[in-house]
C-alpha cells in the first residue's frame, strides 16, 4: 500500500514524487520508458520556476543549462521581430533534466519502476488498484496522472478530448549550429512553427509543430522540411548550415490543445495530462513544474487537515483553473495568429511597431515567480 502512485515520469510526475517523498509519503512512480531518453519538447523553461527548484536543491546550471534572455520571431516571408525577454529562462534537454530528476527521486526514497506501463486503474472502497503490463498490482490512496500529452489510459477514462482527432504533429532534433546561445527563436512556416534554442553541451534544440496534412502532401518529414519549412529564409539557413545529431527525428502524433479536466475518476491530473499550452508560448515545462508544486502541496495540506477526497478534488480543480486556465486560453488564441502565411506576416509587422503589446502578450503566456 502506497500513499501516492504516480503514472508517468516526466517533469510533473518526478516533481510531485520528490516533493511528496521528501515530506515522508510513501510514493511509487511508474514510467514506461527507461531513463535517460528523449521527448518531443521545446526544452525551454522560464525563470519563474527557479525559486521553487532551489527549494528542492535543484540547480539546472549544474546540469549545463543555458541562460536565455532574447526572443526572435519570424514570419514565413522572413519578416523578423527581435526583442529581450524580461523574465528570461533557460534551456536544458529533457534527456538530461528528466534523468537527473529521476536520480533525485531515487535519492528521496521514491520507488521508481521503469520499462512497464499501466494497463488498468480501478477505484473502489476509497483505494486505487493499479495493474501494470507485467500483471503486478499496486494499491494506493491517491493516484496522480502525469503521463503527458496523450496515453492509452485517456481512452479507458473516456476523457472527452480523446474522441476529437487533432491535426498536429511534433518533430524534434538536437543540432549543432551557429546561433546566439542566449536567444530563443520561433520561425513560422505554412501551417506550423519551429523553435530553436540552446540546451546543454553546445547543442541546440530544434522542435516544430505542424499538421498531418503538411506531411501527407510532402510524403516524408525530410521533403516537408525542404518544400514547406525552408521557404522561410531563416529555416533554410538553419537546415543548410547545421549538423543534425539524431539518427532520426523524435516524432509525436495527435497533439491536442483541447481543454482537459484536472480530475478524472478521482485521478488527480498534473502537467500536460491536465492541460497543454501551445508550443508557440514555449512555457509548457514551467507549467508542468508549477502544477506539480500545486498538487503535491494540496495533497500534503489535505492530509494534514484531514480533508475529504471530494474537498481535495474541488479545491485542486479551482486552483488549477485559477493558475492556468487564462494562460492556456491565451495560448490557443495566439496560435490562431500564426501558421497562415499572410496573417503571420501581418502579425509580426504589427508586433514590431508595438513593443508594449508584444511584452504584454509574452507576459500572459508566463506565470509569476513561484
* pLDDT surpassing 80 at residue 340: no
Q: Which of 159-163, 185-189, 197-201, 321-325 has the lowest mean pLDDT?
A: 159-163
**What confidence score (pLDDT) does residue 281 get?**
64
pLDDT tens per residue across span 226-257 = 999 999 999 999 999 999 999 999 999 888 77
pTM of the entire predicted model? 0.94
**pLDDT (tens digit per residue) in 22-52:** 999 999 999 999 999 999 999 999 999 999 9
Q: Provide, rounded to the nearest whole percent, the portion of the chain with pLDDT above 90.
A: 78
Residue 117 lies in a domain: yes
273-307 confidence digits (pLDDT tens)? 998 877 766 688 999 999 999 999 999 999 999 99
**Cell numbers linked to 20:** 511528496
- Select the more confidently predicted residue: 363 or 318: 318
**Domain of residue 271, residue span:** 2-364
What single string gives the DSSP state of each residue in 114-165? Answer: ES--EEEEEEETTEEEEEETTS-EEEEEEEEE---S--HHHHHTT-GGGGS-
Write out pLDDT tens, residues 202-217.
999 999 999 999 999 9
Q: What CATH number corresponds to the domain at position 164?
A: 3.50.50.60
Structure confidence at residue 110 (pLDDT): 98
% of the chain with per-residue pLDDT over 70 = 98
Indicate whether 370 belongs to any domain: no
Q: Residue 152 has what pLDDT?
A: 84
Please give the Cα distance from 252 to 121 (Å, whole number).
25
Per-residue confidence (pLDDT) for residue 326, from 0 to 100: 82
Task: Report the alpha-carbon distance of residue 229 to residue 224 in Å, rounded.
Answer: 7
Fill in the DSSP letter of residue 35.
Answer: S
Whether cis (ω within 30° of 0) applies to the bond prior to 36 is: yes
Does 261 map to a domain?
Answer: yes
Determine the pLDDT at residue 325. 83
Q: How many domains does the chain have?
A: 1
Most confident of 308-317, 329-338, 350-359: 308-317
pLDDT band at 165 (very low <50, low <70, confident <90, very high): confident
369 part of a folded domain? no
Burial of 289 (0-12, 13-18, 19+ CB in 10 A): buried
Q: Indicate whether 204 belongs to any domain.
A: yes
When pLDDT is averaged across residues 119-125 and rounded to a whole number, the result is 96
pLDDT at residue 166, as a whole number: 84
Q: Which residues, in sequence order, are bridge partners of residue 176?
A: 243
Is 22 a member of any domain? yes
Check residues 337 and 78 and name the one with the higher pLDDT.
78
What letters, b where the CB count within 10 A reaches 16 and e where it falls short, cover 95-105? bbbbbbbbebb
Averaged pLDDT of the chain: 93
pLDDT in the model for residue 280: 64
H or E, element range at 328 = helix 309-335
Q: Band the pLDDT of 194: cuts 50, 70, 90.
A: very high
Q: Give the CA angle between residues 198, 270, 284 to the nearest 5°.
A: 25
Amino acid at each position: 500500500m502506497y500513499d501516492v502512485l504516480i503514472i508517468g515520469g516526466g517533469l510533473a510526475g518526478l516533481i510531485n514524487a520528490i516533493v511528496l517523498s521528501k515530506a515522508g509519503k510513501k510514493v511509487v512512480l511508474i514510467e514506461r520508458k527507461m531513463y535517460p531518453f528523449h521527448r518531443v519538447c521545446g526544452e525551454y523553461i522560464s525563470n519563474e520556476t527557479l525559486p521553487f527548484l532551489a527549494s528542492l536543491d535543484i540547480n539546472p546550471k549544474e546540469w549545463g543549462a543555458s541562460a536565455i534572455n532574447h526572443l526572435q520571431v519570424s514570419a514565413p516571408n522572413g519578416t523578423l521581430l527581435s526583442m529581450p525577454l524580461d523574465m528570461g529562462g533557460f534551456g536544458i534537454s529533457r534527456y538530461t533534466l528528466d534523468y537527473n530528476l529521476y536520480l533525485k527521486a531515487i535519492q528521496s526514497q521514491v520507488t521508481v519502476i521503469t520499462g512497464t506501463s499501466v494497463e488498468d486503474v480501478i477505484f473502489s472502497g476509497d483505494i486505487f488498484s493499479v495493474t501494470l503490463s507485467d500483471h503486478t498490482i499496486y494499491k494506493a490512496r491517491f493516484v496522480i496522472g502525469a503521463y503527458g500529452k496523450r496515453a492509452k489510459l485517456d481512452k479507458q477514462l473516456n476523457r472527452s478530448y480523446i474522441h476529437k482527432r487533432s491535426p498536429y504533429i511534433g518533430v524534434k532534433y538536437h543540432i549543432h549550429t551557429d546561433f546566439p546561445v542566449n536567444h530563443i527563436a520561433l520561425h513560422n512556416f505554412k501551417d506550423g512553427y519551429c523553435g530553436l534554442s540552446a540546451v546543454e553541451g553546445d547543442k541546440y534544440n530544434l522542435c516544430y509543430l505542424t499538421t498531418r496534412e503538411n506531411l501527407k502532401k510532402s510524403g516524408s518529414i525530410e521533403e516537408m522540411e525542404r518544400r514547406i519549412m525552408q521557404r522561410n529564409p531563416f529555416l533554410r539557413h538553419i537546415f543548410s548550415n547545421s549538423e543534425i545529431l539524431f539518427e532520426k527525428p523524435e516524432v509525436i502524433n495527435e497533439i491536442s490543445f483541447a481543454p482537459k479536466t484536472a480530475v478524472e475518476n478521482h485521478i488527480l491530473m498534473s502537467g500536460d495530462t491536465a492541460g497543454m499550452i501551445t508550443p508557440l508560448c514555449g512555457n509548457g515545462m514551467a507549467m508542468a513544474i508549477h502544477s506539480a508544486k500545486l498538487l503535491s502541496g494540496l495533497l500534503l495540506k489535505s492530509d494534514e487537515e484531514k480533508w475529504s477526497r471530494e474537498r481535495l478534488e474541488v479545491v485542486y480543480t479551482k486552483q488549477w483553473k485559477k493558475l492556468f486556465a487564462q494562460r492556456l486560453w491565451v495560448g490557443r488564441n495566439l496560435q490562431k495568429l500564426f501558421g497562415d502565411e499572410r496573417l503571420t506576416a501581418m502579425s509580426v509587422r504589427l508586433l514590431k511597431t508595438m513593443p508594449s503589446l508584444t511584452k504584454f502578450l509574452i507576459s500572459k503566456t508566463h506565470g509569476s515567480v513561484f
